[in-house]
């Protein structure tokens, strides 16, 4: 099945209806396993104590915040290059979810920073670049909300999304390029992860759970967006025929 087969919104919605219950079950299951491992299996840190548990929320939401912008960039290419009819639906419905994950990342990081670094916020490169990404998410949502024609809004947002994608490598490598208070990369790095398996395994479960949550929310939001556009079209047709009569 090629990507173009999903171009038909009705077929896509039908597929989402079929897949969504399974995804919800899978999300709940992985969250169950992940949270159980987080609270009962993963050991407390010898320095940080129980606050290290914040990491199991903080790190996956940071990943998802960046992953979501990456997905939106791909969808933007779909909008601009291939004119895929669902690409701007995907980009639009991803933006609030990505903003929420980025917000979660900032809040948990801040709460974690207070006991560990002694401050809620420092202006270091990693924190600042994530904050910039959050601002750009908000700008993007504002852009979507300021144009009434969805196709036109989609193309404008696609260009802004691609320009904003410059920020992604900056966030990823900010801990390597600058000496920051934030710790350097310890999971996805050359030479393998530096985290002990007893923490890495629960973290992996939580990452899978967050990703599944993202996919579930995103598909549901895309379905909602398709239905919303149908209602809009129906209303426009109604007004049109009322004027014509």
Q: Kindly list the residues in this chain that would bind other proteins in the complex (CB under 8 A).
A: 80, 128, 132, 135-136, 138-139, 142-143, 146-147, 152, 155-156, 158-160, 162-164, 166, 170
> Shortest approach of other proteins to residue 153 CB, angstroms?
8
Nearer to other proteins, 67 or 137 (CB): 137
User: Would you say 90 and 123 are in contact if contact means Cβ atoms under 8 Å apart?
Assistant: no
In terms of DSSP H, where are the helices of 78-149?
Answer: 87-117, 125-146
> Shortest approach of other proteins to residue 38 CB, angstroms?
33
Nearer to other proteins, 10 or 146 (CB): 146
> Shortest approach of other proteins to residue 160 CB, angstroms?
6
> Shortest approach of other proteins to residue 104 CB, angstroms?
19
How far, in Å, CA of 157 to CA of 167, rounded? 16
Nearer to other proteins, 23 or 153 (CB): 153
- Tell me if residue 45 falls in helix, strand or coil: strand
Nearer to other proteins, 1 or 166 (CB): 166
Q: If we measure between CA atoms, which residue out of 185, 86, 174, 182 comes closest to residue 133?
A: 174
User: Would you say 65 and 132 are in contact if contact means Cβ atoms under 8 Å apart?
Assistant: no
Q: Sign of torsion, CA 9 161 67 52?
A: negative
């Amino acid at each position: 099945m090629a990507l173009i087969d999903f171009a038909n919104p009705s077929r896509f919605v039908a597929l989402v209806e079929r897949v969504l219950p399974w995804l919800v079950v899978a999300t709940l299951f992985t969250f169950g396993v992940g949270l159980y491992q987080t609270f009962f299996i993963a050991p407390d840190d010898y320095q940080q104590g129980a606050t290290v548990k914040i990491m199991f929320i903080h790190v996956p939401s940071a990943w998802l915040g960046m992953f979501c912008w990456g997905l939106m960039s791909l969808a933007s290419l779909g909008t601009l290059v291939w004119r895929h009819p669902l690409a701007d639906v995907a980009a639009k419905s991803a933006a609030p979810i990505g903003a929420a994950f980025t917000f979660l990342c900032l809040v948990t990081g801040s709460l974690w920073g207070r006991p560990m670094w002694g401050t809620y916020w420092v202006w270091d490169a990693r924190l600042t670049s994530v904050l910039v990404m959050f601002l750009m998410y908000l700008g993007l949502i504002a852009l979507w909300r300021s144009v009434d024609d969805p196709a036109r809004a989609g193309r404008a947002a696609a260009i802004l999304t691609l320009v904003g994608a410059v920020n992604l490598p900056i966030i990823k490598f900010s801990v390597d390029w600058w000496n920051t208070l934030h710790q350097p990369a310890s999971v996805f790095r050359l030479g393998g992860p530096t985290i002990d398996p007893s923490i890495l395994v629960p973290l992996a479960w939580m990452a899978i759970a967050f990703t599944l949550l993202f996919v579930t929310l995103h598909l549901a939001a895309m379905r909602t967006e398709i239905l919303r556009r149908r209602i809009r079209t129906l209303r426009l047709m109604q007004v049109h025929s009322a004027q014509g009569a």
